[in-house]
Amino acid sequence: MKPWMRKFVGLIGATAAAATIPVVAAPSAHADSAYRCNYPEVCFYADPNVQSAIVARFQVVTSSWQYLQYPNTGYAVVNTRNDDVAYVLQSDGKVLCVKPNGSFGSGERVVAVRIDSRSSC
């Protein structure tokens, strides 16, 4: 067999062998829901316990405040977004930041939320 033919046959064999190797794709990034709050939402609960009823859900990134229809005194908030922070405005004017995939509860009254595309507070 001529040298160029050996290379050609070897190339065909290597290609055929590669074609039989199973392709394993890396798992795609995905987000999980938390406490009944679906990705990509920021959810507010009726009291500081995340087991209470969800009273508001937001998912739009905005440059202004989105006001809760029924502001609560005492609440929990869950941010299921992977890359966005949620700023929470309390009735006393204090602004809190909830990190991506973060949560917290408070005894203060919350009035609005602003979801920002920043990945850290």
Whether the CB-CB separation of 81 and 120 falls below 8 Å is answered with: no
Mean pLDDT (the chain, rounded)? 82
Most confident of 16-20, 31-35, 46-50, 88-92: 88-92
Q: Is residue 26 part of a domain?
A: no
Domain count, the chain: 1
The confidence score (pLDDT) of residue 28 equals 39
Distance in angstroms between the alpha carbons of the first and the last residue of the chain: 68
This model's pTM is above 0.85: no
pLDDT at 70: 85
Residue-level pLDDT at 72? 78
Residue spans of alpha helices (H) in the chain: 3-20
Angstrom distance (rounded) from CA 94 to CA 19: 60
- pLDDT-derived band at 29 (thresholds 50, 70, 90) equals very low
Residues 6+ apart with CB under 8 A from 79: 42, 85, 86, 98, 99, 100, 101, 102, 103
* Separation of alpha carbons 120 and 97, rounded Å: 9
Query: Is residue 101 domain-resident?
Result: yes
> Is the residue at 50 inside a domain?
yes
Give the structural domain span for 77: 42-116
